[in-house]
Amino acid sequence: MIYKGYEAVIGLEVHCELSTASKIFCSCSTAYGGEANSHTCPVCTGMPGALPTLNRKVVEYAITAGLALNCTVNKSSGHDRKNYFYPDLPKGYQISQYDIPLLYDGHLNITDEDGQLLNIGIERIHIEEDAGKLIHRDGETLIDFNRAGVPLIEIVSRPCMHTAEEVKSYLRKLRTILVSTGVSDCKMNEGSMRADINVSVREVGDTSFTTRTEIKNLNSINHAGRAVEYEFKRQVDTILAGGEIVRETRRYDENSGKTFSMRSKEGQRDYRFFADPDLPRLTVSDELICSLAATLPELPDAKIARYCSEYSLSQDDAELIAESPAASEYYNTAVTLTQNKKTLTNLFIGEILPKLGENEPIVSPSHLAEITDLLSAGEINNGTAKLLISRCTAEDGMSPAEIVTRDNLGMIRDKEKIRELLDTAVKELPKAVSDYKNGKKAAIKSIIGRAMAISKGRADPVILNDEAEKIL
Ligand code: ADP
Ligand code: MG
Ligand code: ZN
């Protein structure tokens, strides 16, 4: 991403809501939705004198996320008050971590457009509380405090990304890792994962850091990519026109694809950070760290490497499957149930993967493996395999082999039968026959296609081809 001799420098601050059942400093529910202000108590609505008690699960989830992102755990960290006035923050401050975060110095890997491995540094991860939600309606503003006190982790990357594609890959990888460790559902459309994007520009070859702007609260990966592209060009054009980039917070407007200035950026001093006197220091034992490390699932990079080496998948296919925890869970089960791994992978990527997100019933992994084996043994052809994938779903209980017998779907390999099919096709398509005889060799395809259709997709494609050539 180079524009008029400039490159972008990008660093992300990503907020993720942790999937704990209760809030960070009280026992109210974190459930999304629900009647406004029904998940509240004196603590999360900031009543005077109410005292916070740290939720142990928040610490465990944050450490799990940090370990999955190769961070070091600070065995002693604190809680700090970030003071600012805003109606969705009734205490007048947010409890966060300032100088000493719970986790620091991690990284994750992405592959860039040229297939090159890039290591994206993570400066720190800290825990903090979410604010309430303002709802603007009919000229009035309403406040829902159900979200106030929902636990967040903020993941701060180093300013080491340079393109919109890298930003999108980083967000996708982050989401995969967090979802697969079970610490967050990372639903960007529900706000449980949101990204602030810091962008600056510099001339290609320059290694210094320049003034940056911050685009707030991106709620989709595609919007993040478009916001980066727009903001990058806007800054370059501003500089080339003799203007100056000012440190400010901007908002991305999804309708116009542009960013707009919201306010000049608060400096750290504006927030008057100080240690929260209501909470003790947060100390973490080695035992806790070790026991959490032991519960980590197989992480995406390990999965991708294993898919490539054990099942001979291409890097792209492996990444595609490993990206979705639901997909890799299904695939992991199915692929161990057959020897024909390549065929299973193809069926999985073509037929199963696109349907996995859709809340529709889907063929079981063991039935998919059986269909794969029928296909590999030549009992059925590709079209029938696809048909079985949908039939097994609709009529669960029956095995693929039983459906083949009941519905007479077995492959037709008998040459006599295949010739009969071709004879019919030839009679129906005299034009294709004469085209073929006049040298248009491609015309054979429509005859084969018709014969296949008459067989309802059951003819053996190899024999059908051979016989068609002989007959013609
Ligand atoms: P703040 O607390 O003001 O938000 P931080 O030092 O925490 O500032 O940095 C916030 C984010 O800004 C980090 O993700 C970091 O990578 C990014 N960042 C810092 N400097 C630059 C820069 N020159 N250009 C782009 N991003 C930057
Ligand atoms: Mg920040
Ligand atoms: Zn509460």
Return the domain boundaries, the chain.
2-291, 298-406, 415-471
Residue nearest to atom 24 of ligand 1 (CA): 200
For residue 381, what pLDDT is reported?
A: 87
- Among the bound ligands, the one closest to the CA of 101: 1
Indicate if ligand 1 lies below 6 Å from the C-beta of 96. no
Residue nearest to atom 1 of ligand 1 (CA): 268
For residue 42, what pLDDT is reported?
A: 97
Share of the chain above pLDDT 90, in %: 80
Structure tokens at 251: 């908002």
Structure tokens at 243: 């203007």
HSE-CB of 183 using CA atoms within 13 angstroms: 32
Position in ligand 1 atom list of the atom nearest CA 211: 23
CATH number of 415-471: 1.10.10.410
**Residues whose Cβ atom is located within 5 A of ion ligand 2:** 13
Indicate if ligand 1 lies below 6 Å from the C-beta of 235. no
For residue 255, what pLDDT is reported?
A: 94
Q: In this structure, what is the dihedral angle of CA atoms 393, 396, 399, 405, given to the nearest 10 degrees?
A: -80
Angle (nearest 5°) at CA 65 between 61 and 67: 115
User: What is the rounded distance in angstroms from the CA atom of residue 27 to the CA atom of residue 37?
Assistant: 14
Question: 264 C-alpha vs ligand 1 centroid, how far in Å?
Answer: 15
Answer with the residue of higher pLDDT: 357 or 452.
452
pLDDT over threshold 80, residue 268: no
Closest CA to 199 of 159, 239, 166: 159
Task: Tell me 277's DSSP state.
Answer: T
User: What is the rounded distance in angstroms from the CA atom of residue 308 to the CA atom of residue 306?
Assistant: 5
Find tokens 């026991």 and name the residue.
Answer: 291
Q: Rounded mean pLDDT of 245-259?
A: 95
Structure tokens at 3: 């524009």
For residue 458, what pLDDT is reported?
A: 86
For residue 435, what pLDDT is reported?
A: 92
Indicate if ligand 1 lies below 6 Å from the C-beta of 159. yes
Q: Rounded mean pLDDT of 218-241?
A: 97
Residue type at 246 in one-letter notation:
V
Question: 172 C-alpha vs ligand 1 centroid, how far in Å?
Answer: 20
Question: 164 C-alpha vs ligand 1 centroid, how far in Å?
Answer: 17
Strands of 80-83's sheet in order across:
93-96, 80-83, 274-275
Q: pLDDT per residue over 314-336, tens digit each?
A: 999 999 999 988 899 999 999 99
Indicate if ligand 1 lies below 6 Å from the C-beta of 251. no
pLDDT over threshold 70, residue 175: yes
Q: Please provide residue 457's backbone torsions phi and psi, each rounded to the nearest 5 degrees.
A: 80, 15
pLDDT over threshold 90, residue 215: yes
Report CA-CA distances (Å) from 435 to 282, 426, 447. 82, 12, 11
For residue 114, what pLDDT is reported?
A: 84
Closest CA to 123 of 69, 204, 79: 69
For residue 411, what pLDDT is reported?
A: 87
- Among the bound ligands, the one closest to the CA of 235: 1
Q: pLDDT per residue over 407-416, tens digit each?
A: 888 888 899 9
User: What is the rounded distance in angstroms from the CA atom of residue 420 to the CA atom of residue 353?
Assistant: 38
Indicate if ligand 1 lies below 6 Å from the C-beta of 248. no
Query: What is the overall mean pLDDT for the chain?
Result: 93
For residue 115, what pLDDT is reported?
A: 82
Q: Rounded mean pLDDT of 245-251?
A: 94
Question: 159 C-alpha vs ligand 1 centroid, how far in Å?
Answer: 6
Q: Which helix (H) or strand (E) holds 233?
A: helix 221-240
Find tokens 């009280």 and name the residue.
Answer: 26
Position in ligand 1 atom list of the atom nearest CA 11: 16
Q: List CB contacts of 466: < 8 A, sequence separation 6 or more.
A: none
Question: 306 C-alpha vs ligand 2 centroid, how far in Å?
Answer: 36
Indicate if ligand 1 lies below 6 Å from the C-beta of 13. yes
For residue 264, what pLDDT is reported?
A: 79
Q: Rounded mean pLDDT of 180-206?
A: 95
**CB-based contact 218:13 (threshold 8 Å):** no
Q: List CB contacts of 262: < 8 A, sequence separation 6 or more.
A: 216, 248, 249, 250, 251
For residue 269, what pLDDT is reported?
A: 74
For residue 266, what pLDDT is reported?
A: 66
Q: pLDDT per residue over 364-418, tens digit each?
A: 999 999 999 999 998 898 888 998 998 887 655 788 988 888 888 888 889 999 9
Q: How confident is the model at residue 47 (pLDDT cuts 50, 70, 90)?
A: very high
- Residues paired with residue 172 on neighbouring β-strands, in sequence order: none
Question: 267 C-alpha vs ligand 3 centroid, how far in Å?
Answer: 30
Find tokens 């590999």 and name the residue.
Answer: 376
Q: pLDDT per residue over 60-117, tens digit each?
A: 999 999 999 999 999 999 999 999 988 999 999 999 999 999 999 999 999 888 888 9
Question: 307 C-alpha vs ligand 2 centroid, how far in Å?
Answer: 37
What pTM was computed for the model? Answer: 0.87
